[in-house]
C-alpha cells in the first residue's frame, strides 16, 4: 500500500492521542496565536509540552496558559526555528520523557511583496523560517520517534501552500515546498511501514497578528515597509482577511484529530480544498491559474 492513508494503529495504547502512544508534544512558534491554541489543546489532555519560540515572553505566557489548562509540565526552549541546533535541542528536551510523541512545526513569518521587488534578505528569511524550519524539525524528530516506536510530525503550511496568490511569492514558495517535503515524507514512512506518521496543515485565513509580528521579527519598521500598487492591495486584503479569520482553535482541533486518526491532509477550512480543486481543474483544462484574492 503506497498511495493511501495507513490503516494500521500505531502505538495502540488507547491513550489520549489514540494511535500515538502518549508522550511529550513539541510546538514551535508556541508564543503566537495558533501555537498557543495548539499548546493549550495538547496541554488540556494532560500531556507534557516542550514549547519553543524566539519570543521569550510570548512563549512563557503560552506555557503558563497550557499549565492552567492541564499540562503537568512544560519545558521552554527559546531559539530560532530556522536553526538546526534548536531542532536538536527540542529532541533532547524530550529525552527523559521517553522522546517526542508529537511535534508541530508551526513557527512562521509572512511579509508581502512582489516577486521582483521584495528585498532578497526578506525573501531569504521567509524561506529559512517557513521552509527550512520544518525541514530541520523533521530531520531531528523523525529518527527520535522511530527509536521511540511511535510518533507524529506535523508541519503547518498554509492554503498558500496549495494555491499561489499574488504579492506573497516568497511565502507561497516556502509553503508549497513544505507541502511537497511532507508528502514525500508521508510516502517514505508508509513504504517503510514505520510507526511514525506525517501531516501537513493548510489553514486558510486565521485571526492573528502574523503580518505585524513578522515585520517585527525581521526588525523592519512598519513605516519603512512601504508597499505600493498590487503589493499594497494584497497586503491590505490579507490583513483584512486575517482580521476576520477563523479562530486558531479551529486549526488546533484539526491537528489533534489528524494525530489521532493518522490523516495526512489537514485543511481546517473547506474553502481551501475548493481552491486547490479549482487550481488542478484549470491545470488539467489548460486554463489560467486561479487567484483566490
Ligand X SMILES: NC(=O)c1ccc[n+]([C@@H]2O[C@H](COP(=O)([O-])OP(=O)(O)OC[C@H]3O[C@@H](n4cnc5c(N)ncnc54)[C@H](O)[C@@H]3O)[C@@H](O)[C@H]2O)c1
CA 43 and chain centroid, separation: 18
Active-site residues: which are they? 171
Does 106 sit near ligand X (CB under 6 A)? Answer: yes
The C-alpha atoms of residue 119 and residue 56 are separated, in whole angstroms, by 27
Asked if 186 contacts 153 with a C-beta cutoff of 8 angstroms, the reply is no
Stretch that binds ligand X, among 26-34, 92-100, 137-145, 220-228 (CB under 6 A): 26-34
Q: Find where cell 496565536 sits.
A: 33
Q: Does 138 bind ligand X (CB under 6 A)?
A: no
For helices 84-94 and 133-148, what crossing angle results, to 10°?
30
The C-alpha cell that represents 126 in the structure block = 521567509
What are residue 63's phi and psi, to 5 degrees? Answer: -55, -45
Name residue, grid cell 486558531.
248
Using the contact rule CB under 6 A, the part of the chain among 5-13, 24-32, 41-49, 67-75 near ligand X is 24-32
Q: Which of 107, 135, 234, 290 binds ligand X (CB under 6 A)?
A: 107
Q: Is 168 in the site for ligand X (CB under 6 A)?
A: no
Task: Give the nearest distance from C-beta 28 to ligand X in angstroms.
Answer: 6
Q: Report 29-88 residues binding ligand X (CB under 6 A).
A: 29, 31-35, 53-55, 58, 80-82
Grid look-up 505585524 returns 212
Residue whose beta carbon is closest to ligand X: 32
Which residues make up the interface to ligand X (CB under 6 A)?
29, 31-35, 53-55, 58, 80-82, 106-110, 129, 156, 158, 203, 205-206, 208-210, 213, 217, 242, 245
Amino acid at each position: 500500500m503506497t498511495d493511501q492513508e495507513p490503516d494500521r494503529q500505531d502505538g495502540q495504547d488507547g491513550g489520549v492521542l489514540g494511535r500515538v502512544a502518549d508522550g511529550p508534544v513539541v510546538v514551535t512558534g508556541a508564543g503566537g496565536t495558533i501555537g498557543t491554541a495548539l499548546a493549550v489543546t495538547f496541554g488540556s489532555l494532560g500531556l507534557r509540552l516542550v514549547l519553543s519560540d524566539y519570543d521569550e515572553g510570548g512563549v512563557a505566557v503560552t506555557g503558563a496558559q497550557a499549565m492552567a489548562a492541564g499540562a503537568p509540565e512544560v519545558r521552554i526552549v527559546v531559539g530560532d526555528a530556522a536553526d538546526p541546533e534548536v531542532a536538536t535541542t527540542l529532541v533532547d528536551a524530550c529525552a527523559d520523557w521517553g522522546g517526542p510523541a508529537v511535534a508541530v512545526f508551526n513557527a512562521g513569518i509572512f511579509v508581502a511583496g512582489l516577486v521582483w521587488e521584495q528585498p532578497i534578505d526578506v525573501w531569504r528569511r521567509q524561506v529559512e523560517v517557513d521552509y527550512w524550519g520544518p525541514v530541520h524539525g523533521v530531520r531531528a524528530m523523525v529518527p527520535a520517534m522511530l527509536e521511540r516506536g511511535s510518533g507524529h510530525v506535523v508541519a503547518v503550511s498554509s492554503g498558500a501552500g496549495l494555491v499561489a496568490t499574488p504579492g506573497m511569492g516568497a511565502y507561497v514558495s516556502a509553503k508549497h515546498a513544505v507541502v511537497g517535503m511532507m508528502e514525500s515524507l508521508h510516502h517514505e514512512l508508509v513504504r517503510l511501514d514505520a510507526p511514525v506518521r506525517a501531516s501537513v496543515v493548510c489553514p486558510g485565513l486565521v485571526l492573528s497578528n502574523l503580518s505585524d509580528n513578522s515585520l517585527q521579527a525581521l526588525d523592519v519598521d512598519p513605516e519603512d515597509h512601504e508597499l505600493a500598487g498590487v503589493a499594497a492591495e494584497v497586503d491590505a486584503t490579507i490583513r483584512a482577511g486575517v482580521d476576520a479569520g477563523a479562530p486558531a482553535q479551529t486549526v488546533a482541533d484539526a491537528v489533534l484529530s489528524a494525530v489521532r486518526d493518522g490523516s495526512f491532509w489537514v485543511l481546517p477550512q473547506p474553502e481551501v480544498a475548493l481552491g486547490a480543486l479549482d487550481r488542478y481543474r484549470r491545470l488539467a483544462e489548460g486554463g489560467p491559474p486561479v487567484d483566490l484574492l
